[in-house]
């Protein structure tokens, strides 16, 4: 799959299977994206490559370790390595959509904003399920 930020200055590609998406409803993702939740996926590090613009990526890390990587020109959240897991985190909205992709999980639903109505589509988790569960859900064959 191909992906790009709002200004098109940061571009990347994923290889391998076409992943599904999850949405995180935690208060940090809410601040980061300015919306009720984010939508994202993970791919194996070896299935991710930058095309251009890696040098225009800035980052912000909170004391807790929560890190946000974003395009320093347009502010879009951009992919980043998921700590030391061997995976890359990818914001769904940057990807060119492919048929069949869907939201398979909602996480941190216990922290959702009072003003948000949760979609019934996908599994709901009050917090973060274990990584293996998430990975299986995201990479079920489409
Ligand atoms: Zn940009
Ligand atoms: Zn979150």
Query: 24: domain CATH number?
Result: 2.170.150.70
In the reported structure, the alpha carbon of residue 118 is separated from the centroid of ligand 2 by a whole-number distance in angstroms of: 15
Q: Would you say residue 142 has pLDDT above 60?
A: no
Q: What's the 13 CA to ligand 2 centre distance in angstroms?
A: 23
pTM for this prediction: 0.93
Ligand 1 midpoint to CA 33 (Å): 14
Proximal ligand: closest to the CA of 75: 1
pLDDT tens for 91-134 read 999 999 899 999 999 999 999 999 999 999 999 999 999 988 99
Could you tell me which residues come within 8 angstroms of residue 6 by beta carbon, excluding any fewer than 6 positions away? 71, 74, 75, 76
Q: For residue 57, what are the contacts with CB-CB under 8 A and spacing of at least 6?
A: 10, 69, 70, 71, 72, 78, 80
Ligand 2 centroid from CA 29, angstroms: 4
How many structural domains does the chain have? 1
Q: Exposed (0-12), middle (13-18) or buried (19+): which is 64, by Cβ within 10 Å?
A: exposed
Neighbours of ion ligand 2 (CB under 5 A): 24, 26, 29
Domain extent for 30 = 2-138
Q: What does the radius of gyration of the chain's CA atoms come to, in whole angstroms?
A: 14
């Amino acid at each position: 799959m191909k992906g790009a930020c709002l200004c098109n200055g940061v571009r990347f590609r994923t290889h391998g299977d076409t992943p599904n998406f999850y949405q995180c409803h935690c208060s940090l993702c809410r601040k980061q994206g300015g919306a009720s939740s984010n939508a994202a996926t993970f791919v194996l590090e070896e299935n991710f490559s930058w095309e251009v613009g890696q040098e225009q990526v800035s980052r912000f890390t909170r004391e807790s370790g929560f890190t946000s990587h974003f395009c320093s020109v347009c502010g879009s959240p951009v992919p980043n390595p998921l700590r030391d897991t061997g995976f890359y985190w990818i914001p769904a909205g940057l990807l060119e959509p492919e048929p069949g992709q869907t939201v398979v999980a909602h996480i941190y639903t216990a922290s959702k904003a009072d003003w948000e109505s949760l979609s019934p589509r996908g599994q709901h988790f009050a917090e973060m399920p274990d990584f293996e569960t998430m990975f299986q859900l995201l990479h079920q064959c489409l």
